[in-house]
Amino acid sequence: MANEYDLQDAVEFALRLIYDDVRPEERGPSVAGGSTTPDFLLPEVQTAVEVKVTKPGRRNNQVRDEILVDSTTYLAHPRVNRLVFVVYDLAGTIDNPPGFERDLGEPINGHPRDTLVVEWPHGHP
C-alpha cells in the first residue's frame, strides 16, 4: 500500500464482498462545531469503520488520541452503534500492538468498539 487512500480502497473492496450497503465517508451530525466523518458506514449492522495509517513522526499517543476523539464523535451518528478501528502500522510506531488493541477495544458508553493493529515489516513499506 502506497498511502492511506490505497488502503481505504482495499478496505472498501473487502467490505463490499461482505455487505451490500457500504457508504464511504458519510457525514454525521455536527458535534462541538465539527461534523463526524468515519471512513465507512455499514448501515445494516450500524457500524462505523475508520482506517488509520501511521507515518514517520506520528507517535503512538497521537493515533490513540485520534481514536478516542473519533470514538465519541462517531457515536453521535444516528446509524452508528458499533465502532471498528483498523490501524495500519506502516511506520512501526505502535509500541505494544496487543496492549493498544486491548485498551482501545473496550466498549465506549455501552457501544462495542474493536481496534485492530495491522503490523507492517519495519523498513519495508
Q: How far is CA 111 from the centre of its chain?
A: 15
Separation CA 67–CA 44 (nearest Å)? 23
Q: 3-class SS at 98?
A: helix
SS3 per-residue string spanning 2-66: CCHHHHHHHHHHHHHHHCCCCEECCCCCEECCEECCCCEEEHHHCEEEEEEECCCCCCHHHHHHH
Q: Where do the domains of the chain lie?
A: 4-119
Tens-binned pLDDT, residue by residue, of the chain (125 aa) = 567 778 888 899 999 999 999 998 755 555 555 556 889 999 999 999 999 988 888 788 999 999 999 999 999 888 899 999 999 998 888 989 999 999 999 999 999 999 999 987 754 44
Residue 18 identity (one-letter amino acid): I
Beta-carbon contacts of 72 under 8 Å, excluding residues fewer than 6 positions away, are: 31, 108
Strand partners, 86: 51, 116
